[in-house]
A and B are shown apart, each in its own frame.
Chain A
Amino acid sequence: MPTVNDFLLILPEVVLLIWALLILLIDLWIPDTKKYYTAVLSAAGLVISAGCAFALLGRTGSAFSNMVVLDGFSSVLSILFLLSGLAAVALAYDYLKRNAAQRGEYYTLLLFSIAGMMLMASANDLIMVFLSLELLSIPLYILAGFFRPRLASEEAALKYFLLGAFSSAILLFGIAWIYGSTGHTDFPGIVASIDGGRANYLLLLIGAGLLLVGFGFKIGVFPFHMWVPDTYQGSPSSIGAFMTVATKAAGFAALLRVFLVLFPAEAPIMAGILWGLSAASMIFGNTVAIAQMNMKRLLAYSSIANAGYILMAFVPYGNPVIAQEAVSSALFYLLAYALTSFGAWAVMIALEPAESDGLLLQDFSGLGRKYPWLGAALLISMLSFIGVPLTMGFWGKFYLFKTAVDGSQIPLVLIGLLTSLVSAYYYLRIVMFAYFKPGEPQIQPGRWASVVAVICAAGIFVLSFIPTPVFQFAAQMIMGMK
């Protein structure tokens, strides 16, 4: 029977879920003209939940008969998800009003999805991984189609739903294989079964492969990326921004934990597959992004490439000396990527007129002169995407490449460096439009989106002066993971 302590360990999730349910009901009595109350309420819920997560920082333990664990890894990611949610609320506020889609369900669904992500980061049982994956995905299917009468949004939702349902089914199939091999779904049980030599290696390997495919869809790496551009383009932009950061981070959270804990023995075979996925994502994402003139599609392909970069550090995960470093550099890069991606999306959302499918690169013309703050935020985000020094993006790639070199993955690092060079072309082209082309943004920038853009850009710049403490914090947080 669950004790109070069990609930205490998942307090941030509990608070968030109750809050989401209350908002769903409270919103019914908020008139359409005053939906900012709902936005403020949901932001308050996110802040309270983040406060609980901060209070639990450093505590460890497992709850509900080992279904979930609380450790530094899950705490840090929970805070990342909650802050992403806060950004998604801020980005949505002006944007939804502009598009006449001010409905309270947006915030409720967002909160549910974040709760699913937080549970996913702390899942300690394959059933829990699956359930939290559904809890995070189902609200996102609806949110992707939030501009419902619009065809692009419906298409985005349908594509995301169909491929998401497939990937869930594949994941579940993988869980079945692992259960068949070991007779357990909980991580400690599976590990004990493998260590005791009772597990069937081949069945386990098939299960691991199927799980990798399932997670691959969620993080959007190369052969499983088909839904990414269309979904990000058709969804409301604030949801696109949220998905590039938070959904990807949640997918990585589950991938890292599951593979580190359950499949160290499969590392020799898995490393080859991860190598291929990583290299293909970097090459594909970065080259196809060159041809994109629509900012949303460009950022979508950029997110595919970035998933490849994060995966790079994880290739040598079977080496116990590297494993800790791999996870901390992946965490560090996720933080850097979150700031950078939200910065870029926020600038675009601030300037995106109603009923638009995403700004074209030309639409950024004259941004630097007319709105210097937004221009600067765009410039810093793009430099951080490329990995230019004095940005978080540089340090993120630095640690990723360092981990890969330590794991003697020199060819992969070379691919990473070369594709980063290629990416400079399309990232800098946006900056070129913003600063050197005459023109004028079409609309007055949204206030809250501009605030998010400037905060993210400031974060990218300021944190780049203290990369070592941040990295050490990440390393310290994941110490107790195994």
Chain B
Amino acid sequence: MVNDWVYIGLFILISLFLPAAAILIAGWLAPKKPNKIKNSTYECGIETVGDTWVQFRVQYYIYALVFLVFDVETVFLYPWAVAYRQLTLFAVLEAVVFLLLLAGGLIYAWKKGALQWN
């Protein structure tokens, strides 16, 4: 029990030490040629040009949703395909049911005009 806490303590020490060491060593060794741009704050990428509050077409959103359905399908089918040789009939049928459900979703979206760009 106590040993576990020692490990956690070691982890904390190392995790504090490593980044601190990296920053300090870099500070000693690196050549320093500051200018205005280098000293400016770096936050989430470069500064934007123009207004960031642009409007997107809401249809991108529906596209993204339909895309996501098949994205997730791939994630689920990949391990299934890899293990296909060891699977029982039940697992195969389950995957077929899963595909049918997703196909139903696609038919629904299609018929509702989600894939129509106008």
B108 interface residue per 8 A CB criterion: yes
A21–B101 CB distance below 8 A: yes
The minimal Cβ–Cβ distance linking B51 to chain A, given in whole angstroms, is: 27
Q: How far does the alpha carbon of A28 sit from the alpha carbon of B112 in the complex, in Å?
A: 8
Q: Nearest CB to that of B105 among chain A residues?
A: A24
A162 interface residue per 8 A CB criterion: no
Residues of A within 8 A of B40 (CB): none
Tell which of B101, B107, B108, B112 has the most Cβ of chain A within 10 Å: B108
B15 interface residue per 8 A CB criterion: no
Residues of A within 8 A of B104 (CB): 21, 24-25
The minimal Cβ–Cβ distance linking A315 to chain B, given in whole angstroms, is: 41
Given known A-B contacts A21-B101, A24-B104, A25-B104, A1 and B90 have beta carbons under 8 A apart: yes
Partner of B108, one of A1, A2, A25: A25
Q: How far does the alpha carbon of A25 sit from the alpha carbon of B104 in the complex, in Å?
A: 7
Q: Nearest CB to that of B107 among chain A residues?
A: A25
Q: Nearest CB to that of A29 among chain B residues?
A: B111
Number of interface residues of A (CB under 8 A): 7
B90–A24 CB distance below 8 A: no
Q: How far does the alpha carbon of A1 sit from the alpha carbon of B88 in the complex, in Å?
A: 10
User: Chain B's interface: helix, strand, loop or mixed, by majority?
Assistant: helix
Number of interface residues of B (CB under 8 A): 8
**0/1 per residue, B36-75, Cβ < 8 Å to A?**
0000000000000000000000000000000000000000
A28–B88 CB distance below 8 A: no
Residues of A within 8 A of B101 (CB): 21
**0/1 per residue, A1-38, Cβ < 8 Å to B?**
11000000000000000000100110011000000000
The minimal Cβ–Cβ distance linking B115 to chain A, given in whole angstroms, is: 14
Q: How far does the alpha carbon of A29 sit from the alpha carbon of B108 in the complex, in Å?
A: 10
Q: How far does the alpha carbon of A1 sit from the alpha carbon of B89 in the complex, in Å?
A: 11
Residues of B within 8 A of A29 (CB): 111
Q: How far does the alpha carbon of A24 sit from the alpha carbon of B112 in the complex, in Å?
A: 11
The minimal Cβ–Cβ distance linking B7 to chain A, given in whole angstroms, is: 20
Residues of A within 8 A of B90 (CB): 1-2
Residues of B within 8 A of A25 (CB): 104, 107-108
**0/1 per residue, B94-108, Cβ < 8 Å to A?**
000000010010011
Q: Nearest CB to that of A3 among chain B residues?
A: B90
A21-B101, A25-B107 are known; give 8 further A-B pairs, CB within 8 A. A1-B88, A21-B104, A25-B108, A28-B107, A28-B108, A28-B111, A28-B112, A29-B111
A sample of 15 cross-chain residue pairs with beta-carbon separation below 8 angstroms, ordered by A number, consists of A1-B88, A1-B90, A2-B90, A21-B101, A21-B104, A24-B104, A24-B108, A25-B104, A25-B107, A25-B108, A28-B107, A28-B108, A28-B111, A28-B112, A29-B111
Residue numbers of A with Cβ under 8 A of B are 1-2, 21, 24-25, 28-29
- Pick the 5 closest A-B CB pairs, nearest first: A28-B111, A1-B90, A25-B104, A21-B104, A24-B108
